[in-house]
């Protein structure tokens, strides 16, 4: 307590500043270790925080209470489909959906069906997946609407020719016009062109990867959604895709099924039950199961591990900076042995000498920490400008870096300060006289 009161003395602080100004270059070089250490911590954490936050946001979009089933073509079906005009039948069926509805703890099901691969407006044609969807799709996953409305139960009940456009599809089809209320056309090899009225436009959905992938490993920005009932009425169960002079026939009733569980705590056990139910009477696995909650937990664990690794690596710089402070302060004690002896002879106590040297290390480390914070934030913004990487500067990282820099000054400055305080006044004066 006595040492702390002495440290807070205005006179002692002014004395510490004066001593540091007397050796400006040495003080700057001593603080460089702390400056670059703090800057490295903030810059590395900001890059890692942005990368992990983007991944976590993508997973959260899926909904932590959802279990996502997706139809996939099994290897045997791929081999069979090599013959011309062969029909490939696989994936999720009505029987699967009926069994899933009977499972306990399942609140609702979202059904999706991929029916076409392009959308046309006037002379513009855009590659986009046309998806038949039940009206609860947009409320089950966390997507926002830029304008307009969602598909409704009435749209599905009547089989209306209405649609919701992804952000990229809307921009490309209507670069200088408002898509709401406009008509787009979906060409099909089986039914011909079918017109749809645009009733809603999705906001941009976070995507990543090359090609871009977002919610459920799909790029919703390049999708168009129509009522599932309309998809069934207009396109039947067969999807025909033209490949040069040949045609590819696929019979996939549901491309995706989202199982919404009543409680987040039940998602993992229900997902295991869903897997067992789906494998019933199946000869080959023609579906995949994605559990966003499981992915979220794994991603959060990876994020924590990466933060520890990045913080530890950058923290080595702070350790080196602390060793530099200790080295310089020990040299300063040796240089100022006579001054210490005189002060002790004039009545200065040990805690006065300890505080005198400790305040210098604190000034160096705290000033270095503040400069390092500014430099780290600047470097993070520079990375964003030059490399086009998103960076997020975590407030906790800034606070932690500053606290650690102050602790470095205390921990590595305490030993030289105590060493100076333990000098005997007579021995200090004699040693200084002999040196002189």
Q: How far apart are CA 225 and CA 228, in angstroms?
A: 9
- Alpha-carbon span 197 to 188, nearest angstrom: 17
Q: Report the C-alpha gap between 201 and 306 in whole angstroms.
A: 37
Stretches where the chain sits below pLDDT 70 are 1-13, 15-16, 54-55, 57-58, 76-87, 189, 206-217, 238-249, 311, 314, 335-337, 340, 344-348, 421, 423-436
Query: Residue 298: in which H helix or E strand, if any?
Result: helix 292-335
Spatial CB neighbours of 415, under 8 Å, sequence gap ≥ 6: 326, 330
**Count of Cβ atoms closer than 10 Å to residue 18 Cβ:** 9
Residue 367's CB: how many other CB atoms inside 10 A?
Answer: 18
Cite the beta strand spans of 252-320 per DSSP E: 256-261, 287-290
Closest alpha carbon to 120 in 183, 61, 37, 34: 183
Dihedral Cα 137, 140, 146, 149, nearest 10 deg = 50
What are the C-alpha distances in Å from 258 to residues 46, 140, 205? 34, 8, 18
**301 contacts: CB under 8 Å, gap ≥ 6:** none
The pair phi, psi for residue 152, each rounded to 5°, is -120, 170
3-state SS of 206-238?
CCECCCCECHHHCCHHHEEEEEHHHHHHHHCCC
Distance of alpha carbon 143 from the chain centroid: 17
> If we measure between CA atoms, which residue out of 23, 36, 25 comes closest to residue 320?
36
pTM of this structure: 0.65
Structure tokens at 62: 């899926």
Name the nearest CA neighbour of 44 among 256, 306, 287.
306
Tokens of 376: 């780290």
Identify which of 211, 215, 198 has the alpha carbon closest to the alpha carbon of residue 143: 215
Domain boundaries in the chain? 2-58+299-435, 66-262
Please tell me the predicted confidence (pLDDT) of residue 43: 84
Tens-digit pLDDT profile for residues 106-146: 889 999 998 888 999 988 999 999 999 999 998 888 788 99
**Residues in the chain, how many?**
436
DSSP letter (8 states) at residue 180 = T
- Using one digit for the tens of pLDDT, what is the confidence trace for 412-427? 777 777 777 676 666 6
- Give pLDDT, residue 291: 86
In the prediction, which pLDDT does 89 show? 75
Among residues 30, 2, 4, the alpha carbon closest in space to that of 363 is found at: 30
Encoding tokens for residue 138? 């947009």
């Amino acid at each position: 307590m006595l040492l702390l009161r002495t440290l807070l003395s205005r006179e002692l602080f002014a004395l510490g500043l004066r001593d540091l100004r007397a050796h400006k270059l040495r003080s700057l070089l001593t603080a460089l270790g702390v400056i670059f250490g703090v800057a490295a911590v903030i810059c590395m954490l900001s890059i890692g925080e942005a990368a992990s936050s983007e991944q976590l946001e993508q997973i959260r979009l899926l909904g932590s209470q959802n279990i996502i089933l997706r139809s996939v073509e099994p290897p045997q079906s791929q081999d069979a489909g090599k013959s011309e005009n062969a029909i490939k039948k696989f994936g999720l069926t009505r029987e699967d959906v009926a069994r899933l509805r009977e499972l306990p703890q399942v609140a609702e099901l979202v059904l999706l069906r991929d029916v076409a691969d392009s959308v046309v407006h006037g002379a513009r044609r855009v590659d986009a997946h046309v998806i038949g969807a039940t009206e609860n799709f947009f409320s089950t996953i966390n997507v926002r609407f830029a304008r307009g409305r969602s598909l409704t139960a009435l749209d599905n009940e009547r089989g209306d020719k209405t649609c919701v456009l992804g952000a990229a599809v809307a921009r490309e089809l209507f670069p200088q016009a408002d898509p709401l209320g406009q008509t787009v056309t979906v060409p099909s090899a089986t039914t011909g062109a079918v017109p749809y009225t645009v009733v809603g436009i999705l906001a941009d959905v976070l995507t990543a990867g090359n090609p871009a992938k977002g919610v459920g490993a799909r790029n919703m920005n390049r999708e168009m959604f129509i009522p599932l009932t309309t998809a069934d009425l207009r396109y039947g169960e067969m999807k025909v895709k033209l490949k040069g002079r040949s045609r590819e026939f696929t019979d996939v009733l549901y491309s995706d099924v989202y199982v919404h569980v009543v409680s987040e705590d039940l998602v993992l056990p229900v997902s295991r039950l869903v897997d067992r139910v789906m494998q019933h009477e199946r000869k080959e696995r023609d579906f995949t199961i994605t559990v966003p909650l499981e992915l979220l937990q794994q991603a959060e664990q990876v994020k924590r591990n990466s933060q520890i690794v990045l913080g530890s690596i950058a923290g080595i710089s702070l350790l080196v900076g602390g060793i530099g402070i200790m080295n310089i302060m020990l040299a300063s004690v040796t240089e100022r042995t006579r001054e210490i002896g005189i002060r002790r002879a004039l009545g200065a106590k040990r805690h006065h000498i300890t505080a005198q040297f400790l305040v210098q290390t604190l000034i160096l480390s705290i000033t270095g920490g503040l400069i390092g914070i500014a430099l780290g934030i600047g470097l993070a913004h520079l990375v964003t400008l030059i490399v086009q990487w998103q960076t997020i500067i975590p407030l906790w990282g800034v606070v932690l870096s500053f606290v650690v820099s102050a602790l470095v000054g205390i921990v590595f400055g305490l030993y030289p300060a105590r060493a100076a305080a333990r000098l005997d006044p007579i021995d200090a004066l004699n040693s200084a006289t002999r040196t002189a």
